[in-house]
Chain A
Amino acid sequence: MAGRDFTLRATPAAAAAIDRLRGRARKSYAAFEAELRKQGCGVGGYRLLGAEDGGYSEFCCKRLIDDWRAITTFEPGVAIVVAVGRHDSRAFYAELSQTFEIGAAGQGRKEKPACCGDDGWPSVGLAPAVA
């Protein structure tokens, strides 16, 4: 299957963040990267909504471990790690449920659009697997 693996690229910021990972976060990222090479957006997590208008963005978010997140995007045959960092989603939703009176969000996000998706953003991450 090596010939069908995705080419993997990263922004310099993401690469630096990856180098700084230690312990369980480092191990978790290593496992994620290995799967990313094989499966592309199939392991990309969920599609992020766009900051401008709430439509689908070009980015996916994968929870690594604890509050570590990896943001990715894809081109045909290429997986790109855009950024790696920490974001405490649970705390964010807890605060949101109070300040914005969005009670249903207090426990976190139950439904997440798939990274690859059936429509909207093309499933470009799957291209090598179906070629």
Chain B
Amino acid sequence: MSSGAAPTQLRRRAALARLEAEELADAVSELRTASLSKPELERALERVEALSARVQKALDLPGGLSVAQAAERLEVSEPTIRKWLAEGLLERVEGHKPVEIAQRSVIEVERVLGTVRESYPSRRWSEALAAFLHDRDLLGQGWAREGVEQLRQGELIER
């Protein structure tokens, strides 16, 4: 198996992760309904962070998502996922065949898509993503970066 773990081990890890996930869901549910003071909120957030870390530890397997899983999650076609992998928009898990995709990169692309869809007039994802990539490229030009950096430093002159 590409994950290197036996089926029984995988089931045990999945069961443990599910336990942690259930507890995490409870903690979030409590946060939604509770009226907390700032110290109580801090403690609740620490608990959620600890639970999240335990879930990640329980699921600390080297595998990524399949192309089909990533496509379903991002609501695009599998060829599109492969294109995005080739262009570096998504990150593959090294040494895994068939191709697996790092979960973090899927989350990052999903976040960008979600935000861009909101910002873009038509909310059509493909055009919105193209617009995002274009604007990122434009703002990434050396002349643009230099200007933005000077603006951040307050270096302005009257005209």
Contacts and interface: CB of A to CB of B under 8 A. Distances in A.
Interface of A: 7-15, 17, 33, 48-51, 53-57, 59, 61, 69, 71, 73, 80-87, 89, 92-93, 96-97, 99-105, 109-113, 120
Contacts of B136: 49, 51
A84 B150 contact: no
Contacts of B113: 54
Interface of B: 79-80, 83-84, 86-87, 89, 111-113, 115-116, 118-122, 124, 126-144, 146-148, 150-151, 155-159
A8 B136 CA distance: 26
Given A101-B80, A104-B126, A13 B138 contact: no
A100 B89 contact: yes
Contacts of B84: 100
Q: Which 5 A-B pairs have the closest CB atoms?
A: A83-B147, A85-B143, A105-B130, A54-B116, A11-B150
Contact of B151 (A11, A49, A100, A109): A11
Contact of A13 (B87, B128, B135, B143): B143
User: Which of A81, A82, A92: most chain B Cβ within 10 A?
Assistant: A82
Contact of A10 (B83, B131, B156): B156
A12 B159 CA distance: 11
Nearest to A51: B136
Given A15-B159, A102-B129, A111-B120, 8 more contacts: A8-B159, A9-B158, A48-B135, A50-B135, A51-B140, A82-B148, A85-B144, A103-B126
A87 B148 contact: no
A100 B130 contact: yes
Contacts of B144: 71, 82-83, 85
